[in-house]
Structure 1
Amino acid sequence: MAESSLITQINDWLIDQALGDPDIVDLFEGVCNRLSAIGIPISRAVLMWSTLHPLFRAELVSWRRGSPAQLDQFIHQDTVSDVWLRSTMKFMLDNNLQVLRRRLTGPEKLVDFTILEDLAAEGYTDYLIIATDLFARPHAHDQSRRGMFVSWSSDRPTGFTDGELECLQRIQRRLSVACKTVIQARISRNITEAYLGKQTGQQVLDGLIRLGDGRETRALVWYSDLRNSTGLAETMPSAEFLDLLNAYFECAARPAIAAGGEVLAFVGDAVLAIFPVADEAELPAITRRALSALRVSLILTDRMNAERKQAGLQPIRYGVGLNIGAVMYGNIGVPERLAFSAIGPTVIEVARIEKLTKTVGSRVLATPQVASLEPHLWRSVGEHPLQGIGRPQEIFGFREEAAALEAA
């Protein structure tokens, strides 16, 4: 009876967690510590769930008595690993099982999975794993399952009692409710970051979702465009062109993201990214980060093109324009279908500047505002008219050799 009362207290704590915004690692560590504190003999526990993320297919939190819980993430793979094929979780999914229990020692010992062999060798005596579906299947005939597994292991010589097994199964439903809340929030962040960027995605989740919502900000704007994309699309097989396009984005967008930039849009074969400037005193440091990303972008491109040449593939050629100024950063479109983007004269100018890279002999061009912050890395290429802009502007080309020496 006392044990039941203690489990009820943990269940109540889990509901409180579901109503808040806990970190899932802290949540699982908290429930493990509370179960251990009331005498449930768990010495190892694992929480695993499927997720929606462009890089990861599943996430896992592991806990061991006396140690902090840890988060691991599993990347998408084209082939199924042997570890998964021999796992208790795969067996439960294939056989539509919700609970699986194995004794790892004594006359009832049954070690029929690789993980159980490992646990038995480490001195564990009992193993329980429980599955819970978290999200409804889209179709009745859909056999896929998106849910979570929780495994509990004991190293007590006698393992779990029947009462303790019942307690762990009672905990599962409330733990699943709390975890579903946290997992849904993580998936929402994953999706918004993947499609909108980290900063923009957070602004949308914070409520910036109506047409016209936005703010004016000062920013360093990065715009790149793939050369001869129409000709490539018309002459290359679709799959080969898609591979080239993604390789280009890897070169042109990833370094900007890694340096703290926000990629707002892939406009066909163009990349629009901004480095917001919250404080003017931060502008020199932000510019250095952007130029460091630019160097990485060019190095990646040259390296990738050398590999593509050896393989007999089309090279990746693109230009980059950089500008600094005010941008309107917010929602555009129609109420039913919005896009979060940056608009304004600064963005129009940088797109026009990038077009000049096709004729002035430099892969990267910038305005005086950018060049003045690191003048030794730029050379004037003269004044040039920009389509739709009133007067010619002095434009600066990136001195790649100076940048390479500085980076060495």
Structure 2
Amino acid sequence: MVSREEKLTDITDWLAISALTEQPIRETIRSFSKRLSNCGIPVDRINCSTFQRHQIMGAMDTTWEIDVGVSDTEFVPKSVIINSDTNNTPAGSLARSASDFERYDLRNSETRGKFPVFEKLNARGFCDYFIIKQSYGRHWESRKTATNSEGVYGSFATKNSSGFSDDQIDEIKSLWPALSLFLKTATEQMLSAQLLEAYVGRIPARNILSGMIERGDGNRISCVLWYSDLRDSTRLSTSLPTDEYLELLNNYFDCTAGSVIENGGEVLKFIGDGVMAIFPLDERDEKMAFSSALSAARQSLVKADCLRSKTSASSAGDFVFGIGLHAGDVTLGNVGTAGRLDMTVIGASANQVTRIEALTKSLAISVLASPRFFQSSPEGLTSIGKFPVPDLGGMTEIYSLVEK
């Protein structure tokens, strides 16, 4: 017969293996609850949260309840944490405490009044509750709370009328370091992937994480190409204060790159004030890819017009840009030195779309498209004549948006 101590050791070993094999948080929490039950520990609710540094995400949160199951792993934006009353939660209280453990008897009316969540839990039959933390050792500042430790927080609740015994709490405490390590590892893996995607884009991030990390590694993509460039950027950068110029740049990127993303495209590179984006043809209906790229171009212009009307008294919306549309094959690959690589887009089609965009300045037309783009998506475009386009071979017919 397996002893209680052996069962607890098995759980610790299983959590370590789960961390090493990158098991999903959701499934691991569900299995952890079953293993506690097999040890005779009456846990009816588990909530696990991790708080960490991230430019967007401030926390990860997962909850399991015996009558509900496991919630999806939820990422809580940093802005929500900063602007919410985190003081009025058990985790917020523990974060400010020198202790790493607090226990609450939910049968006591005075205790239930400490935090809003306690009344809700007691109404659903929960009697005993404790929360435990494992700090990472780093700290971050919140505008509305005291200094809070980054780390893992876990709360455990039971509907057992006798609550948890001291021995049962000690047993969960003995498992907590292993569970904390699993949660920290799993969360940072997920956040690393999101952070990588935020900096290099979804497709490059996917390629890097799948092992495409050697110099010269690359893959060919058939796609619609979308390139935009800011007009008079040199004049703007020298005439505006740095903070105003950065605000203008970010507004411009919101109009252009933001529209690409909202229409299902992929921003591959910010090249100074240029935006190189694609709408892959192997991931969607070809007609939809062209239509989405055209919609993104129109949306960019609408956004810019709205911004100018709202910021007429400042320089924040005082910018003009051009957009080139094309289609073809490009290679997304690693270039650079052995110690410093960049996953970038290369190929004739990538050069050609920048040449098409360059015409928007001399022709004073905001959006121009190539013959290849027009062949697959003629609706909404009209020919404006033939023009010399380097890399496209002689005089090339060019198309612009039909005014709506």
Contact 1:50 1:59 in 2 (8 A): yes
Partner residue of 2:87 out of 79, 85, 88: 85
Cα displacement (A) at 1:125: 1.7
Counterpart position of 1:297? 300
Pair 260,353 (structure 1): closer, same or farther in 2 beyond 3 Å: same
Higher mean C-alpha displacement, 206-215 vs 256-265: 256-265
**1:370 is aligned with what amino acid?**
F
**2-structure distance, mates of 1:38, 1:396:** 71
The answer to whether residue 394 in structure 2 is matched with residue 376 in structure 1 is no
Counterpart position of 1:269? 273
- Percent same amino acid at aligned positions? 31
Contact 2:224 2:281 in 1 (8 A): yes
Cα displacement (A) at 1:196: 1.0
Cα displacement (A) at 1:56: 1.6
Counterpart position of 1:176? 180
Pair 339,312 (structure 1): closer, same or farther in 2 beyond 3 Å: closer
Higher mean C-alpha displacement, 304-313 vs 25-34: 304-313
Contact 1:98 1:131 in 2 (8 A): yes
Pair 113,282 (structure 1): closer, same or farther in 2 beyond 3 Å: closer
- Equivalent residue of 1:376, what SS? coil
The answer to whether residue 343 in structure 2 is matched with residue 330 in structure 1 is no
Higher mean C-alpha displacement, 226-235 vs 296-305: 296-305
Cα displacement (A) at 1:17: 1.5
Structure 1, unmatched stretches of 5+, are 402-408
**2-structure distance, mates of 1:228, 1:91:** 52
Provide, for residues 184-220 of structure 1, a one-character-per-residue CA deviation record: whole Å limited to 9, x for no partner. 2112201210111112101101111122111233221
**1-structure distance, mates of 2:371, 2:25:** 48
Please give the TM-score of this superposition, normalised by the length of structure 1.
0.88
Pair 102,212 (structure 1): closer, same or farther in 2 beyond 3 Å: same
Pair 2,397 (structure 1): closer, same or farther in 2 beyond 3 Å: same
**2-structure distance, mates of 1:329, 1:82:** 42
Cα displacement (A) at 1:236: 2.0
**1-structure distance, mates of 2:149, 2:287:** 50
**2-structure distance, mates of 1:188, 1:221:** 28
**1-structure distance, mates of 2:161, 2:352:** 73
**2-structure distance, mates of 1:188, 1:349:** 34
**1:92 is aligned with what amino acid?**
L
Provide, for residues 107-160 of structure 1, a one-character-per-residue CA deviation record: whole Å limited to 9, x for no partner. 995854444454345442211111113x4549xxxx763321011112222211
Q: How does 1:222-241 map to 2 (within 5 A)?
A: 222-241=226-245
Q: How does 1:48-59 map to 2 (within 5 A)?
A: 48-59=49-60
Contact 2:132 2:155 in 1 (8 A): yes
Pair 171,215 (structure 1): closer, same or farther in 2 beyond 3 Å: same
- Equivalent residue of 1:41, what SS? coil
Pair 56,108 (structure 1): closer, same or farther in 2 beyond 3 Å: closer
**2-structure distance, mates of 1:278, 1:378:** 24
**2-structure distance, mates of 1:339, 1:263:** 15
Higher mean C-alpha displacement, 172-181 vs 156-165: 172-181
Counterpart position of 1:25? 26
Pair 191,80 (structure 1): closer, same or farther in 2 beyond 3 Å: closer
Higher mean C-alpha displacement, 167-176 vs 383-392: 383-392
RMSD between superposed Cα atoms in Å: 2.7
**2-structure distance, mates of 1:349, 1:252:** 19
The answer to whether residue 200 in structure 2 is matched with residue 196 in structure 1 is yes
**1-structure distance, mates of 2:16, 2:224:** 45
**1:207 is aligned with what amino acid?**
G
Counterpart position of 1:102? 104
Higher mean C-alpha displacement, 111-120 vs 366-375: 111-120
Pair 291,328 (structure 1): closer, same or farther in 2 beyond 3 Å: same
Cα displacement (A) at 1:340: 1.0
**1-structure distance, mates of 2:341, 2:221:** 20
Pair 312,232 (structure 1): closer, same or farther in 2 beyond 3 Å: closer
Higher mean C-alpha displacement, 64-73 vs 330-339: 64-73
The answer to whether residue 224 in structure 2 is matched with residue 217 in structure 1 is no
Contact 1:327 1:345 in 2 (8 A): yes
Structure 2, unmatched stretches of 5+, are 140-146
**1-structure distance, mates of 2:248, 2:110:** 58
The answer to whether residue 187 in structure 2 is matched with residue 186 in structure 1 is no
Counterpart position of 1:405? none
Higher mean C-alpha displacement, 73-82 vs 239-248: 73-82
Cα displacement (A) at 1:400: 4.0
**2-structure distance, mates of 1:149, 1:331:** 40
The answer to whether residue 19 in structure 2 is matched with residue 15 in structure 1 is no
Higher mean C-alpha displacement, 160-169 vs 96-105: 96-105
**1:270 is aligned with what amino acid?**
G
**1-structure distance, mates of 2:380, 2:264:** 21
Partner residue of 2:349 out of 346, 351, 358: 346
**2-structure distance, mates of 1:285, 1:77:** 34
- Equivalent residue of 1:359, what SS? helix
Counterpart position of 1:126? 128
The answer to whether residue 150 in structure 2 is matched with residue 146 in structure 1 is yes
Cα displacement (A) at 1:14: 2.0
**2:194 is aligned with what amino acid?**
N
- Equivalent residue of 1:156, what SS? coil
